[in-house]
Amino acid sequence: METVWPRLEPLLPEVQRPARYIGGEDGSRPARLTPEKVAWLLCYPDSYEIGLPNQGLQILFEILNERPDAVAERAYAPWVDLEALMRRDGMGLFSVDNHRPASAFDILGFNLASELVYTNVLNIIDLAGAPVRSAQRKDGDLFVCAGGHCAFNPEPLADFVDFFALGDGEEVVGEITEVVAEHKGAPRQETLQALAGVAGVYVPSLYEVFYEGGALAAVRPRFGGLPEVVEKRTVASLADWPYPRRQIVPLTEVVHDRLNVEVFRGCTRGCRFCQAGMITRPVRERPAEQVRTMISDGLRQTGYDEVALTSLSTADYSGIEALLADVVEAPDNPSGCPAVSVSLPSLRVDAFTVGLADQIKQARRTGLTFAPEAGTWRLRQVINKLITEQDLYSAVESAYSQGWRRVKLYFLIGLPTETDEDVLGIAELARNCLAVGERHVRGAEVTVSVGGCVPKPQTPFQWFGQDTVAELERKVGLLRGGLRGHRRVKLKWHDPRASLIEGLLSRGDRRLSSVIEDVWRAGGTFQEWSEHFDESLWQKAMARQGLSMDWYVHRHRTRDETLPWAHISAGLHEDFLWADWEDALAASGLEDCRWIPCYDCGACTGYGIEHIVASNVAPAGGSQGTGQDLEATGRSPVLLLPRPA
Amino acid sequence: MLSLRIRWTKQGRIRFTSHRDVARIWERGVRKAGLPVVYSQGFVPRQRLSFGLALAVGQESEAEYLDIQTNLPPVQESAIHNAELRHRLSNALPEGMEVVAAAALEPGEPSLQELVSSCTWEIDLGEDSRQAWQEDIGRLLGAVELPIVRERKGKRREDDVRPAIIGIRMADAQRGCQRVCRLIVELAVKPRALRPNEFLALTHAPISATRLVRRTHQWIKRNGKKYEPLAMVSDVSEGFAQHHSAVPLARKEVCA
Ligand code: SF4
């Protein structure tokens, strides 16, 4: 077996945290590569610590390795210190599983979870020994493929990636494998043409871009037989895909270092800024029995004592309280430790009850984060985050009354129609939450974390002009003023310059390929790390390419203009998105279609699938997205228990 | 309640994990093996594991120790066989970490940190400078004083480390299929541990990050005699081997 280990090993004593390159994790696979098999190198284009826990890649890793015609290994971006040594020694990208060189693989597949990793993608293709531009790749070079949320606007990476896979990957990876296996030895073009015939696969080199006076006019297939619009893939039921069956357990510290079990996919709460929610519709709950099995098997196999129930909004899972009770209280819990910690990474304010607080407080006291997103009820109607002030206070009261001392609140600034009053509303909410906390615990604290709104493709905000850096900075200043003198409210904010570049890449078109390449050539990798982020590299590259930041980022788009991702579909009808955008401007909310009749956004109706939810009413208390007091209708509101002694 | 002392190895790729990483690996391993370990009380219950001297990232070891407090019944009644326990724990650990001995501790046995007074290290050298190393050995062993400057809590101070060098010798050895020249040194850990890298800094060819350093023994001194904290139990004994630190140990060669 070809391995770079003998060359890598002597470099490791010279780099930081060498354990991230050694492989050997529980769940990693022994080598079994034969020439007929299609070999995938699955890559998360960021450091091992960030990339290893990625569930999407772990799921595909297992599904591919279970196939008789495929083999998959994993790679991550080598940190800058190791990269320098690798380049000095002429050593290329390798898999961590068996330290095989990238050249031993057929497909280099990226998961794109954030736009700021795009320069890392180029760097990794280069380290893998392939030309960074797909047009220059020859027969026998790797195929570069990408999926994940950012693939819903593939255009900025269109010149570097041979093909994109849109939506859920469970089924499509198998179909791609079959096409590549059939075409082994065939000319590259033929393989790409065949891949373009797989539903959910977009081959950008087969689509031509037309411009009109500096604006995008159209993106059209070059040949007949190609879809005008490439539609995403959706797995109809998670019950068919109980993955990962064997979660990979790292030997060194990573983020989210715990068992992760996905309890549902999709979200129809309809927050208008949230790309993840829009593109993953409809809601597909995993059957509770399967969740229980995955938790108990997972804990036994991995030895973890902590499990996270993941989804976009876990408190919305039908029967969440019963599930939590089972996990936390199971007397013969398989890990053999006194209590399994449960974390719910995304908590909706209006679904967080004392019951939930009580269940997860037995867990490790990691901070509780709530995301009211906006400071006033009016603005929350604009973004369709339909939670009332009372919902928020009930939730923080549940938390503080159950012994939490610190609560973190997440907000966006730079939202459509936002006024200074809305921004100052954030400070007011934070102060009121602190007052609630002080009634229950000594030294209560509130952390307010604000980020600039980055309008995303395939959302109702895709037409909205993003706030400038100066405007975001001014709003942060307002907020600091509003919190002056409140020592127990801590304010943190995301760098507005990073939001600017994220915005540029989110809604960019194919011309940005040259900008990304320029920044990469100038050494701009790891841009999502504040110590490496360099706005000036991007500004210089934009100037060199004669492109305007203002045109791409800050301008409001009109309905008649062609959006760069118009030929890519997440199932959502364009007129649904536009109507939702108009509702947003009118501060009019839209309820969750999980529990009320469908309004035909297209995500189910277009694909002949539907929601899979075990309960036809929302599971927990609060206003449940209605913004109304549900007590009047007989549904029980949050009950507050006395503070534990 | 039964406390166990475990001797384990750390060899190959896994040597690049840190002391902290290893602690997490052990916590998960103990749970995977289903060993009924005692947990601390409090908000964040933690397993009662106590590790001995930390090993630096990149160093191998044939002699790491760990004390585990378990809820197992006392030795006489314990149904677990020593070999089975070693097997179960080794299976729950990643490649390169292996449990080579285990024994029950007498109640009141001092902690590893209190007990261990010195360690033996093997340092693999290149073939080239045998002569220079011989001179180093002579010079270091013959020195009356070996002052080095160390920093502690931001303060620099001079320590004489000559007393910490208990012995040095050179040997021929085999590493994989390569013949190597090996330095075998015994360094004290009290009052303050002399680290292999600090020792190498005193020689003609100081620190080379790629040099393989391996801990082979940890030593306890009792009544003027040297013992290892735990016998290597290589036979399959019925029930638990009671820990007798009064038995001097023969070294078992572990092949790389
Ligand atoms: S198609 Fe209907 S039910 Fe499905 S997500 Fe859209 S609005 Fe909801």
Q: Give mean pLDDT, residues A182-210.
A: 97
Report pLDDT for B255: 33
CB < 8 Å to A22, chain B: 13-14, 16-17
Q: SS3 for A374?
A: coil
Pair (A447, A320) in one structural domain:
yes
Pair (A172, A297) in one structural domain:
no
- H/E stretch holding A194: helix A188-195
Q: Determine the Cα–Cα distance for residues A301 and A62; give it in Å rounded to an integer.
A: 15
Considering only residues B253 and A12, tell me which one the structure prediction assigns the higher pLDDT.
Answer: A12
On the question of a cis peptide bond just before residue A18, with omega within 30 degrees of 0, the verdict is no
Residue A317 lies in a domain: yes
Q: Pairing state of beta strands B97-104 and B49-51?
A: unpaired
Is pLDDT at A130 greater than 50 in this prediction? Answer: yes
Report pLDDT for B235: 37
Is pLDDT at A596 greater than 90 in this prediction? Answer: no
Is pLDDT at B126 greater than 80 in this prediction? Answer: no
Report pLDDT for B158: 92
pLDDT tens column, B77-116:
555 677 888 999 999 999 999 999 988 888 888 888 888 9
Is pLDDT at B233 greater than 70 in this prediction? Answer: no
Pair (A50, A177) in one structural domain:
yes
Pair (A220, A289) in one structural domain:
no
> In chain A, what is the greatest distance between 2 CA atoms, to the nearest angstrom?
73
Report pLDDT for A627: 54
Q: Do A303 and B18 touch (CB under 8 A)?
A: no
Residue A145 lies in a domain: yes
The most confident of A350-354, A399-403, A583-587, by mean pLDDT: A583-587
CB < 8 Å to B17, chain A: 19, 22, 251-252
pLDDT tens column, A602-611:
999 899 998 9
Report pLDDT for B174: 75
Considering only residues B175 and B62, tell me which one the structure prediction assigns the higher pLDDT.
Answer: B62
The reply to whether A134 touches chain B by the CB within 8 Å rule is: no
pLDDT tens column, A491-535:
999 999 999 999 999 999 999 999 999 999 999 999 999 999 999
Size of interface A-B (CB pairs under 8 A): 76
The reply to whether A335 touches chain B by the CB within 8 Å rule is: yes
Report pLDDT for A447: 95
Q: Give mean pLDDT, residues A295-301.
A: 93
Q: Supply the residue whose CA is at minimum distance from atom 5 of ligand 1.
A: A282
Residue A53 lies in a domain: yes
Q: Give mean pLDDT, residues A73-83.
A: 98
Pair (A215, A263) in one structural domain:
no
Q: Supply the residue whose CA is at minimum distance from atom 8 of ligand 1.
A: A593
Q: Pairing state of beta strands A207-212 and A215-221?
A: antiparallel
Q: Supply the residue whose CA is at minimum distance from atom 4 of ligand 1.
A: A604
- Positive/negative CA dihedral, A32, A33, A37, A39: positive
Pair (A438, A392) in one structural domain:
yes
C-alpha A550 to ligand 1 mean position (Å): 35
Domain count, chain A: 2
Is pLDDT at A642 greater than 50 in this prediction? Answer: no
3-state helix/strand/coil string of A116-175 = HHHHHHHHHHHHCCCCCCHHHCCCCCCEEEEECHHHHCCHHHCCCCCEEECECCCCHHHH
Q: Do A303 and B32 touch (CB under 8 A)?
A: yes
CB within 8 A of A496, min separation 6: which ones? A452, A467, A469, A472, A473, A476
pLDDT tens column, A330-349:
645 445 556 678 888 767 77
User: Which of A264, A267, A268, A271 has most ligand 1 atoms within 8 Å of its beta carbon, as the pocket-test mutant?
Assistant: A268
Report pLDDT for B250: 33
Give the minimum alpha-carbon distance from A616 to chain B in angstroms, rounded to a whole number: 37
Q: Determine the Cα–Cα distance for residues A270 and A409; give it in Å rounded to an integer.
A: 20
Residue A520 lies in a domain: no
Tokens linked to A237: 């039921």
Q: Give mean pLDDT, residues B132-136.
A: 90
Residue A363 lies in a domain: yes
Residue A125 lies in a domain: yes
Partner residue facing A336 (CB), from B20, B34, B94: B34
C-alpha B210 to ligand 1 mean position (Å): 59
* Cβ–ligand 1 contact at A550 (below 6 Å): no
- pLDDT classification of A404: cutoffs 50, 70, 90: confident
Residue A99 lies in a domain: yes
Q: Supply the residue whose CA is at minimum distance from atom 3 of ligand 1.
A: A598
Is pLDDT at A215 greater than 90 in this prediction? Answer: yes
Q: Give mean pLDDT, residues A88-98.
A: 97
Classify residue B40 by its DSSP letter: -
- Specify the CATH number for the domain of residue A503: 3.80.30.20
Give the minimum alpha-carbon distance from A339 to chain B in angstroms, rounded to a whole number: 8
Q: Which atom of ligand 1 is nearest to the CA of A605?
A: 1
CB A244 within 8 A of CB A62: yes
CB < 8 Å to A335, chain B: 31
Cα distances from A535 to residues A99, A452, A538, in angstroms, run 35, 16, 5
What are the residue ranges of helices labelled H in B104-202? 112-115, 130-142, 196-200
Pair (A383, A488) in one structural domain:
yes
CB < 8 Å to A18, chain B: 16, 57-58
Considering only residues A361 and A32, tell me which one the structure prediction assigns the higher pLDDT.
Answer: A32
Query: Left if phi > 0, otherwise alpha if psi is -120 to 50, otherwise beta: which for A336?
Result: left
Length of chain B in residues, anyone? 256
User: Which of A575, A598, A610 has most ligand 1 atoms within 8 Å of its beta carbon, as the pocket-test mutant?
Assistant: A598
Q: Determine the Cα–Cα distance for residues B203 and B182; give it in Å rounded to an integer.
A: 14
C-alpha A606 to ligand 1 mean position (Å): 9
Q: Give mean pLDDT, residues A419-440.
A: 96
pLDDT tens column, B24-44:
999 999 999 999 899 988 767
pLDDT tens column, A8-26:
999 999 999 999 999 999 9
CB B117 within 8 A of CB B189: yes
Pair (A132, A281) in one structural domain:
no
C-alpha A564 to ligand 1 mean position (Å): 25
C-alpha A601 to ligand 1 mean position (Å): 5
Considering only residues B231 and A97, tell me which one the structure prediction assigns the higher pLDDT.
Answer: A97
* Cβ–ligand 1 contact at A177 (below 6 Å): no
Report the range of poorest mean pLDDT among A327-331, A428-432, B200-204: A327-331
Report pLDDT for B25: 97
Q: Which of residues 7-26 of A touch B (CB under 8 A)?
A: 10, 12-14, 17-19, 21-26
* Cβ–ligand 1 contact at A216 (below 6 Å): no
Pair (A344, A213) in one structural domain:
no
Report pLDDT for B151: 87
CB within 8 A of B92, min separation 6: which ones? A303, B28, B29, B30, B32, B33
* Cβ–ligand 1 contact at A596 (below 6 Å): no
Q: Give mean pLDDT, residues A429-452.
A: 95
Q: Determine the Cα–Cα distance for residues A384 and A396; give it in Å rounded to an integer.
A: 21
Pair (A226, A262) in one structural domain:
no
- Specify the CATH number for the domain of residue A215: 3.40.50.280
CB < 8 Å to B39, chain A: 337-338
* Cβ–ligand 1 contact at A577 (below 6 Å): no
Report pLDDT for B178: 73
CB B149 within 8 A of CB B158: yes
Q: Give mean pLDDT, residues A49-68.
A: 96
Give the minimum alpha-carbon distance from A642 to chain B in angstroms, rounded to a whole number: 20
C-alpha A571 to ligand 1 mean position (Å): 10
* Cβ–ligand 1 contact at A240 (below 6 Å): no
Residue A485 lies in a domain: yes
- pLDDT classification of B242: cutoffs 50, 70, 90: very low
Q: Determine the Cα–Cα distance for residues A199 and A205; give it in Å rounded to an integer.
A: 17
Mean pLDDT (chain A) is 91
Q: Do A251 and B36 touch (CB under 8 A)?
A: no
Q: For an interface test with A, which of B15, B17, B93 has the most A Cβ atoms less than 10 Å from its Cβ?
A: B17
* Cβ–ligand 1 contact at A154 (below 6 Å): no
Pair (A190, A329) in one structural domain:
no
CB A160 within 8 A of CB A126: no
The boundaries of the domain holding residue A290 are 258-511+547-613
Pair (A460, A598) in one structural domain:
yes
Q: Which atom of ligand 1 is nearest to the CA of A572?
A: 6
The reply to whether A367 touches chain B by the CB within 8 Å rule is: no
Q: Give mean pLDDT, residues A408-429.
A: 97
Is pLDDT at B246 greater than 70 in this prediction? Answer: no
For the entire predicted model, the pTM comes to 0.92
Q: Exposure of A356 by Cβ count < 10 A (0-12 exposed, 13-18 middle, 19+ buried)?
A: buried
- Positive/negative CA dihedral, A228, A233, A234, A235: positive
